[in-house]
Amino acid sequence: MRKQLSLLLLTLAALPAWANLNVFATVPEWAALAKEIGGDKVTVYSATTAFQDPHRIEAKPSLLAQARRAQLVVAAGADLEIGWLPLVVRDSGNSTIQPGSPGYFEAANYVNRLDVPAVLDRAHGDVHAAGNPHTHLNPHNVMLVGAALATRMAELDAANGPAYQAGFKAFAGKWQTAMARWEKAAAPLRGVPVLVHHSSFVYLTNWLAMKEVGALEPKPGIEPSSGHLTGLLAKQQATPAKMVLRAAYNQDGPSQWIAGKAGIPAVLLPYTVGGTAEAKDLFGLFDDTLQRLLKALP
Amino acid sequence: MQKSFAMAALLAASCAAQAAGSDADLAAIRAQIAEMKQSYEQRIAALENKLAEAESKTAQPAQAPVVAAAPQAQASASAFNPEVSLILQGKFRQMKDIPNRGITGFFPAGIEGANKRGFSADETELVLAANIDPYWRGQAIIAMADGQAEVEEAWFQSLAIGHGVGLKAGRFRSGIGYINEQHPHARDFADAPLMYQAMFGDSYAQDGVQLKWLAPTPLFVELGAEVGRGANFPGTERNRNGANGSALYVHVGDDLGISNSWRVGMSWLKTKAGERSADFTDLAGVTAQGAFSGDSTTWLADFVWKWAPNGNPKYQNFKFQSEYFSREEKGALSCRSDDAASLCNVAVDSSYRTRQSGWYAQGVYQFTPEWRAGLRYEQLDSGTRDFGLNAANLAVDAYKPKKATAMIDYSWSEFSRVRLQFAQDKSMQGITDNQLTMQYIMSLGAHGAHKF
C-alpha cells in the first residue's frame, strides 16, 4: 500500500517531465523549426506533409483531436490555411489557441511579405490579401520567425524559457554559418530566369536574385491549362527561362510538358521538410534545394 | 558576464589560498583556468561570428529582410467588417409534373419547391460571419428566394470556454447525422437524399442551445447535446414553455495512414408534435386531413470515409458516405374531412404508431482538379404503420421508395461549379420519374471553411 502510494507520488512528481509544450504546426517547415528550438521540451505535430497542398487541407477529425490538445498553433499565416485552420481552431474547444491569444502564432507576421496585392479581386485568382504566404524559402525569414517563435514558446512555457532561447541560439549559430555557405554556393544562380508551377517560390527566387518569368498556373490556385502553357512556350522565344520549378506536392505533368517542348530541365524542389529524401530537416531542405538548382544549370 | 567572471576569479583565488601547498590542487586550479579560458574563447569566437554576420548583412541590404515589427495590422476600418459571402445557386430541371410530390408511405415533411420544373434561380444565400469579441463568434445565413428571405441560421458560438467545450446558441443546423450540417451548396448532389427529405423535408435546424465536448484524446471523440424549440418537422410549432426537441450525438474519427480519414457517428433526436397535419387518402379515395399529436424519436447512424493519395485531395480524391435512420412515432391521429363522401366526414380519433427506416450510400470520385463524378443509391422502408381505429378509414401504403442518382460536375476553381445530374426516382408508388438537373453553384466573397 505504502509502496503504491509512493509510486503514485513519484509518478505525479514526474508529470511535469512529460507535460511537454504541445505544438500544432500547420506545415512541416515550421514544425521543424519548433523542434529545433524546443528539442525534447516540445511535442510537435505537423498537420501536413510535403506532399500535401497546404491550401487544400480538410478539417479532418484527426486535426481537431490534435488541436484540442495543443498549447501552441504555429501557422504559416497570410491566409494560407484559411480553408481549414479557422474551423479546426474554433471547433477544437481549445481557448488557448484562438487567434489573438499567445497560443496562436503566424509566421508571416514576422517577415517582410512579398506579392502583397494592390488590387483585391478574385478575377486575379485565389490571391492572398496579406501577401504571398510561402515565406520560409528565404533562410533569413526562417531566422526572423525562429527568434519570434522562441520568444513565444518561452512566454507560454516559462519554466523551459531558457532552454528555448538556448535552443534558438544554437540553431541560429549553425544557421548563420549555413546561410553564408548557401549564399556563396548560389552565386551562379543569380539572374537565372525560371518558370514556376505555383507562386510558391517567390521568397526563394527573391533571396537568390533569380528571375521568375512566368507561372504554369494562369492565376494562383487555377490549374495550368493547355492554352496558357502554349502561351508560356511562345514567350520562351523572347524571354527564355532556364528551368521550370515545381514543389513536391504539385503535379508533374505541366512542368514535364513545357520542359520537354522548351528543352529546359524540369526541377522538382522539396519545397518543405520531407519533400525529398535529402530534405530531412531545415538544413537539408536548403542544401537539397540549392543542389537541385545548381545541377539544373546549363 | 563580468559578474560571473569576477566570481570565478574570486573562487579560484580562495581555492588557491586554501590549498597553496598541494601540487594536486594546483593542477586542478590550472585545469579550471584552462577550462574557463577555453569557454571564453569560444564565446568570443561566437561573438566575432555574429559581428561578421551583421557586417555581411549590412553589406548586402537587398538580401537582408526588414524585420517586421510584430503583427502588421491592417489600418483600414473595413478590416473589422464581417466576412461576407454570397452563394448563387440555380438550376434547370426536367422531370414529370406531379402536383402533390411526396414519398409514398411517409408522413409528408413539406418539401419546398419539390415540383418546380424548368429554369429557376433556386436560392441565393447570404452569409455574414465575424468574431464578436475574444469570447464569441457569430454567423447569420439568410436564404433568399422569390418574395421571401428566410433566416436559415443565426447563431453565436463560444471561443474561450476551453477544455474542449463548445457552446452554440441561436438558430443552427443540428449536429445530428452527417450531411445535416452541410449547406446545400456544399453537398455533392443537387438535392438532399430521400432519407433527409423523408426525415426533415431537407435538413433539421433548431432554435436552441448546443453543447459540444471534444475529448482530449488522440482519437477524435466528440459528444454533443442540443435542446431547442423543436418547431421543425417531425416536431411542430407549439407555443409553450420548455424545450420541444432534444438531440444527442457522438462522433468518432481518425486517420488510417496518411491517405485515409474516416468518421462514424450515432445520433438521437426526440421531438414532440401537436396537431401535425397532412393530407391522407381515405379508403373511399377522397382526400382527408390527418393530424398527428405525439412523440417522434429518430436514431441515425452515419459513416464517411475519404481517400486522397498522400492525403493531398487537390488532384484526386474519393469520398464514400452512408447514413441510416430509424424513426418511431407514437401518439394519436385524428382524421377529418369536410367532404361528405369521405369516411372521415365525422372526425375519427385513433392511436398512431409507426416505425420506419431508410438509408443512402454515395461515392464521389474527383479524378482531376476540375472534374468529379458520383453515384448515389437510396432506399426507404415505410415499415410498420399502425393507425388503430383509423385503419378502417385510411389507406396504409406499404412501399419501399428507391432512387438512383448519377452526377458529374466541373469546377473552374474552388468558387465556381456546374453540375449535371441524372436520377431515376421511384419514391412514389407506381411512378418512375427520370429527372435531369443542371445546376450551378457560385460563391462570391470570403469563403468559410467547410466541415470534414
Between chains, do A180 and B50 touch, taking CB under 8 Å as contact? no
- Predicted TM-score (pTM) of the model is 0.84
Q: Which of B312, B316, B321, B447 to substitute to test the interface with A, most A CBs within 10 Å?
A: B312
Question: How do residues B181-204 score in pLDDT, each as one tens digit?
Answer: 999 999 999 999 999 999 999 999
* Cα–Cα dist A130/A127, whole Å: 9
Residue B69 has a pLDDT of 41
Render pLDDT for B133-185 as a digit per residue (tens, 0 to 9).
999 999 999 999 888 899 999 999 999 999 999 999 999 999 999 999 999 99
The answer to whether residue B53 scores a pLDDT higher than 50 is yes
A98 to B314: CB separation less than 8 angstroms, yes or no: no
Query: How many angstroms away from the CA of A2 is the closest CA of chain B?
Result: 31
Burial class (CB in 10 A: 0-12, 13-18, 19+), B245: buried
Percentage above 70 pLDDT, chain A:
94
Query: Is B81 an 8 Å CB contact of chain A?
Result: no
> In sequence order, what DSSP letters do the residues of B9-49 get, joined into one string?
HHHHHHHHHHTTT-HHHHHHHHHHHHHHHHHHHHHHHHHHH
Rounded distance between C-alpha atoms, residue B249 and residue B212, angstroms: 9
pLDDT attached to residue B280: 86
Which is more confidently placed, A279 or B396?
A279
Range with the lowest mean pLDDT among B35-49, B75-89, B335-349?
B35-49
Is residue A25 scored above 50 in pLDDT? yes
> Residue B20 above 60 pLDDT?
no
Residues in chain A with CB shorter than 8 Å from the CB of B261 are: 58, 60-62
- What is the pLDDT averaged over residues B319-348? 93
How much is the pLDDT for B400?
A: 96
By DSSP bridging, strand B416-426 and strand B83-94 are: unpaired
Q: How confident is the model at residue B46 (pLDDT cuts 50, 70, 90)?
A: low
Confidence at residue A122, expressed as pLDDT on a 0 to 100 scale: 78
Is pLDDT of B13 > 60?
A: no
- Torsion angle (degrees, nearest 10) of CA A262, A263, A265, A266: 40
Cell numbers 502561351 correspond to what residue? A231
- The span from the CA of B235 to the CA of B201, in Å, is 12
Interchain contact B386–A (C-beta under 8 A): no
Which of A222-236, B22-36, B112-126, B297-311 has the highest average model confidence (pLDDT)? B297-311
Q: What is the pLDDT of residue A7?
A: 54
Q: Name the residue with higher pLDDT: B367 or A2.
A: B367
- B330 C-beta neighbours (distance < 10 Å), count: 15
| pLDDT tier at B122, thresholds 50, 70, 90 | confident
Contacts across the A-B interface (CB distance below 8 Å): 160
> Which of the pair, A123 or B136, is modelled with greater confidence?
B136
Phi-psi region of B122 (alpha: psi -120 to 50; beta: other; left: phi over 0): left
Selected for mutation to probe chain B from A95, A106, A169 (highest B CB count within 10 Å) is: A95
Cα B382 to Cα B397: distance, rounded to the nearest angstrom: 8
Q: Which pLDDT belongs to residue B284?
A: 85
Q: Which tops the pLDDT comparison, B241 or B27? A: B241
Element holding A259 (H helix, E strand)? helix A253-262
pLDDT surpassing 50 at residue A37: yes
Q: Is the pLDDT of residue B426 over 70?
A: yes
Continuous H helices in B122-222: 194-200
Separation of alpha carbons B20 and A88, rounded Å: 68
The reported pLDDT for the residue numbered B226 is 98
> Nearest residue on chain A to B51, judged by CA atoms?
A176
Minimum distance, in Å, between the CA of residue A61 and any CA atom of chain B: 5
State the Cα–Cα distance between residues B203 and B192, nearest whole angstrom. Answer: 8
Least confident of A75-84, A167-176, B6-15, B318-327: B6-15
A264-282: average pLDDT: 96
B147 compared with A94, residue with greater pLDDT: A94
B413 and A222 within 8 Å at the Cβ level: the answer is: yes
Contacts B369 to A, Cβ<8 Å: 223
| Bridge partners, residue B359, by sequence | B324, B379
Look at residues A242, A172, A248 and name the one whose alpha carbon lies nearest to residue A210. A242
pLDDT of residue B51: 58
- pLDDT recorded at residue A145: 97
Q: Is A130's pLDDT higher than 70? A: yes
pLDDT at B259 over 50: yes
Question: Could you tell me which residue, B163 or B239, shows the higher pLDDT?
Answer: B163
pLDDT of residue A271: 96
Residues of B in contact with A173 (CB under 8 A): 46, 49
Average pLDDT, chain B: 86
**Best to test chain A binding among B63, B161, B183, B371 (most A CBs inside 10 Å):** B63
Which residue, B21, B426, B137, is CA-closest to A91? B137
The pLDDT, as a whole number, for residue B279 is 87
A137 vs B123 pLDDT, higher one:
A137
List B residues 137-156 in contact with A (Cβ-Cβ < 8 A).
137
**Mutate: best of A52, A53, A62, partner B, most B CBs <10 A:** A62
User: Is a pLDDT exceeding 70 seen at residue B23?
Assistant: no
Query: Does B18 score more than 50 pLDDT?
Result: no
Residue B87 has pLDDT above 60, yes or no: yes
Helix (H, G, I), strand (E, B) or coil at B327: strand
- CB-based contact A68:A93 (threshold 8 Å): yes
φ, ψ (nearest 5 deg) of residue B339: -75, 125
Percent of chain B exceeding pLDDT 70 equals: 82
pLDDT of B21 reads 42
Residues from chain B that touch A64, judged by Cβ atoms under 8 A, are: 214, 220, 222
CA-closest candidate to residue A295, choices A189, A138, A139: A189
Test A52 with B164 for CB contact under 8 angstroms: no
pLDDT-derived band at B341 (thresholds 50, 70, 90) equals confident
Mean per-residue pLDDT, A276-294: 97
B392 part of contact set with chain A, CB < 8 Å:
no
**Residue B48 sits at the chain A interface (C-beta within 8 Å):** no
CB B355 within 8 A of CB B327: yes
By the 10 Å C-beta count (0-12 exposed, 13-18 middle, 19+ buried), A243 is classed as buried
Cβ contact (<8 Å) for B254 and A61? yes
Residues linked to residue B282 through DSSP beta bridges, in sequence order: B394
With 60 as the cut, is the pLDDT of residue A17 above it? Answer: no
Does the pLDDT value for residue A14 go beyond 50?
no
Helices H, strands E: what count in chain B?
3, 16
Compute the distance between CA of residue A249 and CA of residue A128 in angstroms, rounded to an integer: 20
Tell me the Ramachandran region of residue A68: left when phi exceeds 0, alpha when psi lies from -120 to 50, beta otherwise. alpha
Give me the pLDDT at residue B79, please: 62
